[in-house]
Amino acid sequence: GFTCAAASETEAERFQELAKVMKKKNVKLGEDQLSCLVKLVTLDGIPKDLDSYPKDLLLFLSPADYAVTGSCTQYFANVGEANLDVLQRESSQRKQLLLEALACLKIPGTQINEENAAILGHLVCDLGGEYIRSSGGNLLKQLSQCDSFLPDQEDAIRSVISSGNTTFGPPVTWSAFTLNELSGLIPVFDHSILQKIPKNALTLWLKNFAHDSPLSREQLGTIVEEFLPTRHKRADGCPPDKKITEMVLNDDLMPTYYPPEELRACLKNVSLENYLSQILTYPFSREQLAVLKGHLDETYPDGYPESLLPKLDTLLPLVTSADISKWKITSADTLAGLLQNEPPNEQASLIIKRYVGLGNALSSTALNAIGTKYVCLLDEAELNKIDSNSLKMVYLDPSACSQPTKNILYAKAKRAFSDQHAMPAYYKLIEPYLGGAPAKKMSKDNVNMKVSTLAKLRRDFLMSLTPSEVHGLLGVNLRDLLKWKNTSPIREWIRMQKQSELDELHIGLTGGTQEGYINIVTPKFEPPSSASLGAVAMALHLLPALLISFVMMSILS
């Protein structure tokens, strides 16, 4: 709930105390919150006790800022423990951090030793494939903590693992404990690596460690495929020793026991209703999941019971529009259960329309389920069904939606929060909806708006703002305009301002109109029809003569 608008009202010393408590309580802050935090903490200069503040704060400072606290090595050791994903992976800020870290540690080439890898921490996730190859296995421990990889990083990891020249040894010698240490890298392993890992090691790992690994159910499913025969035989029936009992349904290694055809044969006359949510957490392969869905289709030809819908989970990618048209989605909780699995937009839209089409209200529970991810899918009729008061209980950010959607939601949000207008929290509550708002009225409210929010305002409102009004809106974030000066629509707004008025902001912002000049906005004309081309040609032919006449009259007058 930390906001710049509220924080700017707090005395500097008191605010620094608040920031230190954030570290003790391990408060998770977003990029905008941290950017604001660092501005206010350093308002009177860089504190000498930066280690007392949240580590993520260092992502917005430099080694030079940290010099009063410690060395650049200490700085990057702390940055390596920070949540690097606060910054966009391709951002210049994040790239600069890595370059400065390599310079600080005096790493001239692409080979990094284990000591430096430990200092770099999460920064290792941004190293290119050439660093991974050159460093052998020195980076594997840190790489295992990364959330995702680029293609060249994945190729390099596979190359290093396949070589066997690491402290972990070749895959053929690995144990369940080895897999646990490298679990974050398993999604990168291809078939040639997985088939070399002893099956008993994979089984033990699945049984004892998989639940605590960062892998998704789909990623675990690729490991299960290693246990299944590559050629599927048509099952003549369920083997006597493979009957699906309660004990089997409670065994999370169930997927490793049944090839798809055998699973189909053994599921006959088995009710999954009481076990569905449980077994869908098991790492079934995609083919096995198709068998499970086929079994449900046969059991419930007129549509699944509503009680099963929230439990579909990993079966949702296999669901068709014809399936959805049979569903009885009568409660917002069912809608929430379906959407929490984050289906693709097309499927989510069908689910929402089915829910609304059955006469259900878009209550706060339903809106929370729809969330920012799907709010742009709502059409005008659905948006108008939203009760304004429901917005008090939800967080939606329609900034990526169409302008008509933003306009409707802003009007509803304004009504919803009208009783909070005099409170400091009002701006934070209304902020996500400002893409549909007239901004001039807020320029005197000390809102400390982010430039990213300013850029999402209605374009006609933004272009009508004066530099003074923009200053009033941005407050402590004013200097961030410099970072956005080459980004549309801020770039176009700057070009429309007088340079003398931009100079009064005192932040070195250039690109406005010089005195004595005017900005000419080139009008957009429809392409002329063939019928009008003759008239256009005649006008162009006469233009020189008309200009000469005009100049002569000016001279003689």
Mean pLDDT check: name the lowest of 351-360, 375-384, 418-427, 486-495: 418-427
Average pLDDT (339-351) is 94
- % of the chain beyond a pLDDT of 70: 88
Q: Which pLDDT tens digit goes with each residue over 21-73?
A: 999 999 888 888 888 888 888 888 888 888 999 999 999 999 998 988 889 99
Mean pLDDT check: name the lowest of 289-298, 354-363, 377-386, 447-456: 447-456
Q: Which pLDDT tens digit goes with each residue over 263-318?
A: 999 998 898 888 998 999 899 989 999 999 999 999 999 999 999 999 998 899 99
Asked whether the beta carbons of 4 and 30 are under 8 A apart, the reply is no
**Given a cut of 60, is residue 177 above it in pLDDT?**
yes
Give the per-residue pLDDT at 537.
Answer: 43
**Given a cut of 70, is residue 5 above it in pLDDT?**
no
Give the per-residue pLDDT at 528.
Answer: 47
**Given a cut of 70, is residue 4 above it in pLDDT?**
no
Provide the angle, in degrees to the nearest 10, between the axes of the packed helices 72-79 and 92-104: 130
Q: Which pLDDT tens digit goes with each residue over 85-111?
A: 999 888 888 999 999 999 999 998 999
Asked whether the beta carbons of 50 and 74 are under 8 A apart, the reply is no
Q: Show the CA angle centred on residue 193, arms to residues 226 and 187, nearest 5°.
A: 75
Mean pLDDT check: name the lowest of 381-395, 490-504, 509-523: 509-523
- % of the chain beyond a pLDDT of 90: 55
Give domain limits for the chain: 216-299, 438-513
Give the per-residue pLDDT at 552.
Answer: 44
Token pair for residue 429?
């509550």
Give the per-residue pLDDT at 496.
Answer: 93
Q: Work out the pLDDT band at 118, boundaries 50, 70, 90.
A: very high
Q: Who's near 463: CB < 8 A, 6+ residues apart?
A: 489, 492, 493, 496
Cα 312 from Cα 338, distance rounded (Å): 8
> In the Cβ-directed half-sphere of 425, how many Cα atoms lie within 13 Å?
7
Give the per-residue pLDDT at 230.
Answer: 65
Average pLDDT (224-247) is 80
Cα 302 from Cα 327, distance rounded (Å): 9
Average pLDDT (321-345) is 94
- Nearest Cα residue to 47 out of 73, 20, 74: 20
Helices (H), 257-340: 260-266, 276-279, 286-299, 321-324, 332-339
User: Highest-confidence range of 129-143, 382-396, 440-454, by mean pLDDT?
Assistant: 129-143
Q: Who's near 264: CB < 8 A, 6+ residues apart?
A: 235, 291, 294, 295
Average pLDDT (526-555) is 45
Average pLDDT of the chain, as a whole number: 86
Asked whether the beta carbons of 304 and 270 are under 8 A apart, the reply is no
**Given a cut of 90, is residue 214 above it in pLDDT?**
no
Q: Work out the pLDDT band at 197, boundaries 50, 70, 90.
A: very high
Mean pLDDT check: name the lowest of 3-7, 211-215, 414-418, 499-503: 3-7
Q: Compute the chain's Rg from CA coordinates.
A: 31
**Residue 156 vs residue 252, higher pLDDT:** 156
Q: Work out the pLDDT band at 9, boundaries 50, 70, 90.
A: low
Q: Work out the pLDDT band at 529, boundaries 50, 70, 90.
A: very low
Give the per-residue pLDDT at 507.
Answer: 93
**Given a cut of 80, is residue 387 above it in pLDDT?**
yes
Average pLDDT (197-201) is 92
- Nearest Cα residue to 277 out of 248, 310, 254: 310
Per-residue b or e along 424-436, where b marks 16 or more CB atoms closer than 10 Å to that residue's CB: bebbbbbbbbbbb
In this structure, how many other beta carbons lie within 10 angstroms of the beta carbon of residue 85? Answer: 14
**Residue 104 vs residue 440, higher pLDDT:** 104
